[in-house]
Structure 1
Amino acid sequence: MYALTNCTIYTTQAILIDHAVVIEGQQISAIIPINALTNDIDRIDLQGQNLTPGFIDLQLNGCGGVMFNGAVTEQTLATMQAANLKSGTTSYLPTFITDTDQGIKKALHVTREYMQKKPNEVLGLHLEGPYINVQKKGIHRQEFIRQPDPEMIDLICANSDVVSQITMAPEKTPNQFIEQLANAGIVVSLGHSNGTYQQATEAIQHGASSATHLFNAMTSITGREPGVVGAIYDNNIYAGIIVDGFHVAYENVRLSKRIMGDKLILVTDATAPAGADISEFDFVGTTVYYKQGKCVGKDGTLGGSAVTLIESIEQCVKFVGISLEEAIRMATIYPAKAISVDNKLGSIEVGKIANLAIFNNDYQVTGTVVNGCYKATE
């Protein structure tokens, strides 16, 4: 048992000062006024920094110099977790983009093995594709994009304890499959879609409850056709948004926040350069170049991002005009609710798993707590 003291605590429900968070084993056991702490409890003095729930990233292709599609191994997931901790992300969905059926099966196996050994770090797999629209493929390999196959949909549903989210184009996916996946407890997310407002709305009515990287690789609002973006706005579903200054204009982040409220979630869509010093990397057979914070293929196509969640929070505050308290929620409790893990993660509450982030007023992460274990950032 130990206590985290001398900090500003953002619980997601309140901002507390002169309080301590007491951790016992893996859980938060108490949140009490500092003067109620007994002298026999070990203390970690956070020197006036911010204490928040650990950030949760629902879309992470890679970081720390590695890509999950590039090396589908438990070591890759461990490397990503270690890199995440340097920027306050304590839990994430490794994202496996469009690949063969065999590739998907391997990703399922590796993710399951890792999750069984390391609880509350990898929260499940995000399958981004392969059931998407070639016209909005982005960096995805065209030869692997295909129609949903009933046998594979059955397999994915049978692994719903491992698959947390799947990104699909509604115009390419029969509603029966969307319904089947949603009924299995998998978050069906609209993305890489050239669909109409009507097609997206029908998918939502059949169980789609989220959208992948809002504005990117999807039809947007025009005067006569609201597109997928309009359907997201109009149907009160969750959507991840990449706030790196490249993927979405800050003004559009602000407009979306005003419309969507607590359904707008910060995601990174990060790739190998996040938390690493590299200038290029392979993304499913395409060389992606990292220059001045931007990841692009030779043709200029965006190939993921190199942003972290702490940087996303900072940019929301500085350039979008969102309060720090709300930006923290966008990286913690809202993603936890979107994938139904808010019963144990996403906020600082008694009884929840002690996954926490510590950062100073310059948005430098100085430490994390994962499953109750405190670690200073190196």
Structure 2
Amino acid sequence: MFALTECRIFTGEAWLEQQAIIINNGRIQALLPEKTLDPALPRIPLQGALISAGFIDLQLNGCGGVMFNSDISTATLAHMQRTNLASGTTSFLPTLITSPDSDIRAALSVTREYMRGHAHQVLGLHLEGPYLNVVRKGIHPAAQVRALDTDMLDFLCQQSDVLTKITLAPECHSPQHIRQLVAAGIKVAIGHTAASFEQAKASFAAGISFATHLYNAMTPTANGRTPGVVGAIYDNDSIYAGIIADGFHVHGANIRLAHKIMGARLCLVTDATAAAGAPASLTEFDFCSTTVRIKDGQCLDEQGTLGGSALTMIEGVRYLVNTVGISLEEALCMASLNPAKAIGRERDLGAIAVGKVANLVILSEQLSVLNTVVNGQFTNLPDALIGHLDNE
């Protein structure tokens, strides 16, 4: 048991000053005024740093030079987790894009194995495809885009312990498919879709509760008569959505609009690829047999199609605050509390409160990541602070 002191704490609702976070056995045991702490309690002073709940990325294809699609292994997941920590991300959904059934089965097995030994880090698998509309496939391989058949549907419904979210095009499936997945405990998202406003609304009634990368790979509001999927999302007060705040996928004005309408239902996601958190020497990578080149921060194939992003969560937070004009408090919630709620994990994650898992990010005033805490353990604790803790 120890206390984090000399810090500004954002709980997810308010700032706490001159208070300490007491951590015991991986969870937050108490939030107390520093002056009331037991003198014998070990302390780690953070010299005025900001503390927030650790970031949760709901859409991560890869990072640090690796892609989950290219190497479906626990080693890849471990590398992604280590890379994430530098950007304040303590939990994520590894995302497998459009793949054959054999790869889907392998990804479920690998994710389950990793989760067994790494609580509150990988929060389950996100299948983005292959059950999409080829018209809005983006960079997904067209040859693998297909409808969800009965056998695979039944199999996926048995994987709810590890399959957290699946993105599909509802106009290509019956409402019963959606209802069956939702009844099994799987979050279903609308994405890579050419659905009309009416089709999207019907899919929400069937149980879809999330929208994958808002504005991208979905029908827009074309005019006053054609609201499209974007309009259907805005016309619903219960749908969550991810948004890629990298300055390339969505204009800042559209992010502001989405935030004004959706508020706490809007989640920052990266849709990151091998380019995120990778060495500058990495100039291209393979994205499902398509070569994607990294140029000026963008990930583009030969046709100029965006192939994921090079975004990290802390970069997204800074973009939301410094460019879009969203408050720091709301940006931090978009990166932590809102994603936790979107996948039903807010009981344990997403905020700083008694009883929650001590997954935390420690930030400078300039919003640089100084450190992270996962399950109550510092991931890169400076030697000076280790010595201080030992001396206590």
The TM-score bracket by the shorter chain reads over 0.9
Give the Cα–Cα distance (whole angstroms) in 2 for the partners of residues 74 and 102 of structure 1: 17
Alignment-derived partner of residue 232 in structure 2 = 231
Give the Cα–Cα distance (whole angstroms) in 2 for the partners of residues 20 and 374 of structure 1: 16
Q: By how many angstroms is 1:153 displaced?
A: 1.0
From 263, 266, 270, the equivalent of 1:264 is 266
Q: Residues 126-205 of structure 1: matches in 2 within 5 Å? A: 126-205=126-205
Alignment-derived partner of residue 295 in structure 2 = 291
Which letter maps to 1:101? Answer: D
User: 79-88 vs 220-229, which deviates more?
Assistant: 220-229
Give the Cα–Cα distance (whole angstroms) in 1 for the partners of residues 28 and 296 of structure 2: 40
Deviations for 1:324-371, whole angstroms, at most 9, x for unmatched residues? Answer: 011000111110011001011110011111000011022210101101
1:305 aligns with 2:306: no
Q: By how many angstroms is 1:273 displaced?
A: 1.1
Q: By how many angstroms is 1:37 displaced?
A: 1.1
Which letter maps to 1:229? Answer: V
Give the Cα–Cα distance (whole angstroms) in 1 for the partners of residues 365 and 64 of structure 2: 24
From 337, 348, 355, the equivalent of 1:351 is 355
Check whether the contact 1:215–1:248 (CA below 8 A) recurs between aligned residues: yes
Deviations for 1:163-193, whole angstroms, at most 9, x for unmatched residues? Answer: 0000000111211000011111111100000
Secondary structure (helix, strand or coil) at the match of 1:369 reads strand
Give the Cα–Cα distance (whole angstroms) in 2 for the partners of residues 158 and 204 of structure 1: 22
Q: Residues 45-56 of structure 1: matches in 2 within 5 Å? A: 45-56=45-56
Give the Cα–Cα distance (whole angstroms) in 2 for the partners of residues 36 and 64 of structure 1: 43
Alignment-derived partner of residue 243 in structure 1 = 245
Give the Cα–Cα distance (whole angstroms) in 2 for the partners of residues 76 and 153 of structure 1: 27
Check whether the contact 1:365–1:377 (CA below 8 A) recurs between aligned residues: no
Q: By how many angstroms is 1:43 displaced?
A: 1.2
Q: By how many angstroms is 1:39 displaced?
A: 1.3
Q: By how many angstroms is 1:49 displaced?
A: 1.0
**After the TM superposition, which segments of 4 or more aligned residues of structure 1 sit over 4 Å from their partners?**
none
Give the Cα–Cα distance (whole angstroms) in 1 for the partners of residues 43 and 125 of structure 2: 36
Alignment-derived partner of residue 26 in structure 2 = 26
Residues 273 and 67 (structure 1 numbering): CA distance in 2 closer, same or farther, change over 3 Å? Answer: same
Alignment-derived partner of residue 119 in structure 1 = 119
Secondary structure (helix, strand or coil) at the match of 1:235 reads coil
When normalised by structure 1's length, the TM-score is 0.99
Q: By how many angstroms is 1:119 displaced?
A: 0.7
How many corresponding residue pairs?
Answer: 378
Q: Residues 26-105 of structure 1: matches in 2 within 5 Å? A: 26-105=26-105
Q: By how many angstroms is 1:247 displaced?
A: 0.1
Q: By how many angstroms is 1:115 displaced?
A: 0.4
Give the Cα–Cα distance (whole angstroms) in 2 for the partners of residues 279 and 42 of structure 1: 46
Give the Cα–Cα distance (whole angstroms) in 2 for the partners of residues 101 and 377 of structure 1: 42
Q: Which runs of 5+ in 1 are unaligned?
A: none
Which letter maps to 1:231? Answer: A
From 327, 338, 343, the equivalent of 2:342 is 338
Q: By how many angstroms is 1:299 displaced?
A: 0.8
From 237, 246, 252, the equivalent of 2:254 is 252
Alignment-derived partner of residue 387 in structure 2 = none
Give the Cα–Cα distance (whole angstroms) in 2 for the partners of residues 40 and 165 of structure 1: 45
Q: Which runs of 5+ in 2 are unaligned?
A: 383-392
When normalised by structure 2's length, the TM-score is 0.95
Give the Cα–Cα distance (whole angstroms) in 1 for the partners of residues 372 and 39 of structure 2: 24
Secondary structure (helix, strand or coil) at the match of 1:130 reads coil
Q: By how many angstroms is 1:376 displaced?
A: 2.4
User: 148-157 vs 203-212, which deviates more?
Assistant: 148-157
Give the Cα–Cα distance (whole angstroms) in 1 for the partners of residues 41 and 315 of structure 2: 34
Deviations for 1:203-261, whole angstroms, at most 9, x for unmatched residues? Answer: 00000000000000000002221111011111120000000000000000000101111
Which letter maps to 1:234? Answer: D
Give the Cα–Cα distance (whole angstroms) in 2 for the partners of residues 153 and 331 of structure 1: 31
Deviations for 1:19-51, whole angstroms, at most 9, x for unmatched residues? Answer: 110100110001111101111111111111110
Check whether the contact 1:28–1:350 (CA below 8 A) recurs between aligned residues: yes
Give the Cα–Cα distance (whole angstroms) in 2 for the partners of residues 77 and 307 of structure 1: 18
Q: By how many angstroms is 1:271 displaced?
A: 0.4
Secondary structure (helix, strand or coil) at the match of 1:135 reads helix
Check whether the contact 1:55–1:357 (CA below 8 A) recurs between aligned residues: yes
Give the Cα–Cα distance (whole angstroms) in 1 for the partners of residues 6 and 379 of structure 2: 17
Give the Cα–Cα distance (whole angstroms) in 2 for the partners of residues 271 and 284 of structure 1: 12
Which letter maps to 1:239? Answer: A
Secondary structure (helix, strand or coil) at the match of 2:47 reads strand
Q: By how many angstroms is 1:377 displaced?
A: 7.0
Give the Cα–Cα distance (whole angstroms) in 1 for the partners of residues 295 and 39 of structure 2: 52
Q: By how many angstroms is 1:375 displaced?
A: 2.2
Deviations for 1:124-161, whole angstroms, at most 9, x for unmatched residues? Answer: 00000010011111110011100111111111110001
Give the Cα–Cα distance (whole angstroms) in 1 for the partners of residues 183 and 347 of structure 2: 20
